[in-house]
Amino acid sequence: MNLEKVIFAFFIVLALTLNFGFFIGDIANPVHHNVYELFAAIVVSLIATILKFGDRTHIGAVLLATSLVADLQLIVAAIVWAFVEHVSDAGMTPHAMAAIVSLSGGAVLANITSVILLVTETVMVRR
Which of 37, 51, 30 has its CA nearest to residue 100? 30
pTM of the model: 0.93
Mean pLDDT over residues 1-29, rounded?
94
Rounded Cα distance, 5 and 104, in Å: 26
Mean pLDDT over residues 8-14, rounded?
95
Domain enclosing residue 17, as ranges: 3-126
* Confidence band, pLDDT 50/70/90 cuts, at residue 3: very high
The number of domains in the chain is 1
Sign of CA pseudo-dihedral 109, 73, 71, 101:
negative
The whole-number pLDDT of residue 67 equals: 96
For residues 38 and 77, the answer to whether their CB atoms sit within 8 Å is yes
The whole-number pLDDT of residue 77 equals: 98
Q: How far is CA 59 from the centre of its chain?
A: 19
